[in-house]
Chain A
Amino acid sequence: MLELAWLIPIFPLIAYTLIIFLTKKSKSISVAVALAGIVASLVISIGVLVETIQKGITMAEPFEVAVKWLRLSAIDKYTGLNIDMGILIDPLSAVMMFVVTSIATLVIIYSVGYMHGDPGFSRYFAYMSLFAFSMLLLVIANNFFEMFFGWELVGLCSYLLIGFWFEKPSAAKAANKAFITNRWGDFGFMLGIILLYINFGTFNFGEISRIIGDGASGVGAAILTLISLLIFAGPMAKSAQFPLHVWLPDAMEGPTPVSSILHAATMVAAGVYLLARGFVLFNESTETLLFIAYIGGITAFIAASFALVQRDIKRILAYSTLSQLGYMVMVIGVGSITAGMFHLTTHAFFKCMLFLGAGSVIHAVHTQDIFEMGGLSKKMPITTWTFIIGALALAGIFPLSGFWSKDEILLATHQAGFTGLYWLATLVAGMTAFYMFRLIFIAFFGEKRTDHHAHESSPWMTVPLIILAFFAVFSGWGLVKMGYGSMVFFGHPHHGEINLGIALISTVFALGGIVLAWLIYYRKIVDTDLMKQRFRPIYNLLWNKLYIDEIYEWLFDKVMLGVAWLCNQCDRKVVDGIADGLGDTVRHTGGWMRFMQTGSLQNYALVIFGAIVIIVLLMATPVLGGVIR
């Protein structure tokens, strides 16, 4: 099986090509092709996972194959540029690939029901396959460059899929926002890996960790910090960490299955995966790790607080995704990739399920405002119960999957001695439980507010929900039993024993959140509007997400477009301006500078010759080395 691992990304690519070039016309065939592609990858990745466990392939001795992709031989004193395209199979990538393929399969099945009757039906499945390809390429990559390649591709797919319903201007706007925000992250990432290459002479993960392990890198601590910080810019954008988190909530403009797989389960987790993959690098610089940890903590907290007041079901889930991603990044920052990846895995399942559930709700009631829903528990039992399971898992209630991974995170944070972050995280756990059950009590159990004719969705949509629910319940416990900690780790294997104290505290917080939500939104012991009035400023602050978007909009308009405008003016007007201005001044003194007012053509000429004169003068001065002696 391992030899076939390289096929895992290829199948979806083939599916994409087929759909685009051949089967675009026929919806059913396109679906079949997309499904076939992803299922094939799923089968192989299961095989790979099993074999990885059986053969005892560890992080230390991974299975690696590579082909030359770009070879520029080094000419004596000039360094060359050697880039491979390879596959790297170790528990980390094996598990990740299983997660991606299984979720992609379920989501594609779900989409058949969800996208039914959409004009862009085939195009949708083509994009989905393309995304699967890029994501798997990113996961299976054995070097930073290849990873960056997939990284950019998933960005492109997310752009295409967010803007899928481009009739909606908001969708178009969101797509651009997401793409451009991510470009700024990639900017750092790209610069980082180039610097990395210049200093280490390789992109390959294995070789880099070897070089660092031997301590023979001869790279200064400062430059290592710089590199790791630059690379972290990538995850900050992709995993929507504060302050680059603004694009993710808007990304909910896309179709809900897209939000579930790209912007909840897998793509946004790519940043976390990168952190785990390149951890050896980040581990070299304590400053970077500290930065990562606190960025994660801040994200987790502010996102949870935003989620408290949202009305849009998808936005609530989006902010909870943000805060969970914050968890993962934070815990990797404190040094435990085990906990981070563990939570990534469990979160992928239950968050994907929550989104699909939300999708099925939206499909039924055609609104996203939870205050317009209510009373759905009767009409859509399956959706309701799966949703509740997901919420419980997210809240981290024993024995659902979320409990185990969240406990891991809290434990790791506590053991690493970040007491502040630990209490913050625990608090966030409570907030999470609160806003999730606020959602549930309003949308599913609250009295019916508008007359929507909700009905349970088609089996295409419910079956994946049920399967995911199964994962949401058992994946955490199962992975612990499988000894996840001894498979995916950095340095020494990590055995996930339950620390009763921490587990208890977090559970108490979670239950507290649920009870609070129950009291406020089900029993209505307090008038929410009154509370809104009482805490108006805070409420507004949270409702407007601390005005961060507005600040960015302002910055973007004022600064970037301003600079553009300025350059443009320079290029257009200044020449004329100077010319005319001078012309005006000298017209009175005499006509000898009339030429200053001639048409633009001669102003170009003026600029050319003026530039020459200035350059010569500069050359004469020591500024440029005073080459004229």
Chain B
Amino acid sequence: MITLEYYLILAAALFCIGLFGAVAKKNAVAVLMSIELMLNSVNINLVAFNRFLAPSQLVGHVFAIFVIVVAAAEVAVGLAIVISIYRDRFSTEVDNLDWLKW
């Protein structure tokens, strides 16, 4: 029997992997993908909670759908910006983003 904990642990692991990617990856697109992982871990959380705690109404699922959609929008904007950066600097390495010094 798979209990809620499994899902939560899975989600947490996924979040951490995404987190690692977000801070470790050099390529902006890869960072974006890692952030997607984090968001998906949230989705797992939501759906799991919904299934185990409040199966009667579908709030969790709805929330998850909204998260997916917004994430897509964010990715679209993100890729667009990546492209414009690439046009400027011919690289999508996040390390190169240090023109604005502290």
Contacts and interface: CB of A to CB of B under 8 A. Distances in A.
- Within the complex, are A and B direct neighbours (CB within 8 Å)? yes
B32 interface: no
Nearest to A610: B23
B94 A601 contact: yes
Interface string B22-49: 1111100001000000000000000000
A599 B24 contact: no
B98 A594 contact: no
A600 B22 CA distance: 13
22 contacts: A572-B101, A572-B102, A594-B24, A595-B20, A595-B25, A597-B95, A598-B26, A598-B94, A599-B93, A599-B94, A599-B97, A599-B98, A600-B98, A601-B94, A601-B97, A602-B22, A602-B24, A602-B31, A605-B22, A606-B23, A609-B19, A609-B23
A451 interface: no
A9 B102 CA distance: 48
Interface residues of A, number: 13
Given A571-B102, A572-B102, A599 B22 contact: no
Contacts of A595: 20, 23-25
Interface in B52-102: 93-98, 101-102
Interface of A: 571-572, 594-595, 597-602, 605-606, 609
A593 to B, nearest CB: 9
A600 B19 CA distance: 16
B102 A602 contact: no
A605 B35 CA distance: 12
Contacts of B25: 595
Contacts of B98: 599-600
Contacts of B22: 602, 605
A599 B102 contact: no
B94 to A, nearest CB: 5
B14 to A, nearest CB: 15
A598 B102 contact: no
A598 B19 contact: no
Question: Chain B: interface residue count, which band?
Answer: 10 to 19
Interface of B: 19-20, 22-26, 31, 93-98, 101-102
Contacts of B20: 595
B48 to A, nearest CB: 21
Contacts of B26: 598
Nearest to A598: B95
B97 A605 contact: no
A598 B23 contact: yes
B23 A602 contact: yes
B19 A602 contact: no
Nearest to A609: B19
Contacts of A600: 97-98, 102
B24 A598 contact: yes
Contacts of B94: 598-599, 601-602
A571 B96 CA distance: 20
A575 to B, nearest CB: 9
A609 to B, nearest CB: 6
**Chain A to chain B: the 7 pairs with minimum beta-carbon distance, closest first:** A595-B24, A599-B95, A572-B102, A602-B23, A595-B23, A599-B94, A605-B23
A601 to B, nearest CB: 5
Contacts of B96: 599
Contacts of A571: 102
A542 to B, nearest CB: 47
Contacts of A602: 22-24, 31, 94
Nearest to A595: B24
Nearest to B24: A595
A564 to B, nearest CB: 14
B67 to A, nearest CB: 20
A595 B93 CA distance: 12
Contacts of A597: 95
A597 B20 CA distance: 14
B22 to A, nearest CB: 6
Contacts of A601: 94, 97
A571 B101 CA distance: 11
A210 B97 CA distance: 66
A566 to B, nearest CB: 14
B34 to A, nearest CB: 10
B95 to A, nearest CB: 4
A369 B24 CA distance: 69
Contacts of A572: 101-102
Nearest to A568: B102
- Which residue of B23, B25, B101 has the most chain A CB atoms within 10 A of its CB atom? B23
Contacts of B93: 599
A437 B25 CA distance: 80
A604 to B, nearest CB: 10
A595 B24 CA distance: 4
B76 to A, nearest CB: 20
Given A600-B102, A601-B97, A602-B31, 20 more contacts: A571-B102, A572-B101, A572-B102, A594-B24, A595-B20, A595-B23, A597-B95, A598-B23, A598-B26, A599-B96, A600-B97, A600-B98, A601-B94, A602-B22, A602-B23, A602-B24, A602-B94, A605-B23, A606-B23, A609-B23
A598 B24 CA distance: 7
B68 to A, nearest CB: 23
B16 to A, nearest CB: 10
A238 B101 CA distance: 41
A37 to B, nearest CB: 51
A572 B102 CA distance: 6
A28 B94 CA distance: 65
Nearest to B95: A599
A599 B31 CA distance: 12
B31 to A, nearest CB: 8
Contacts of A594: 24
A600 B100 CA distance: 9
B79 to A, nearest CB: 17
A598 to B, nearest CB: 5
Contacts of A599: 93-98
B86 to A, nearest CB: 16
Contacts of B24: 594-595, 598, 602
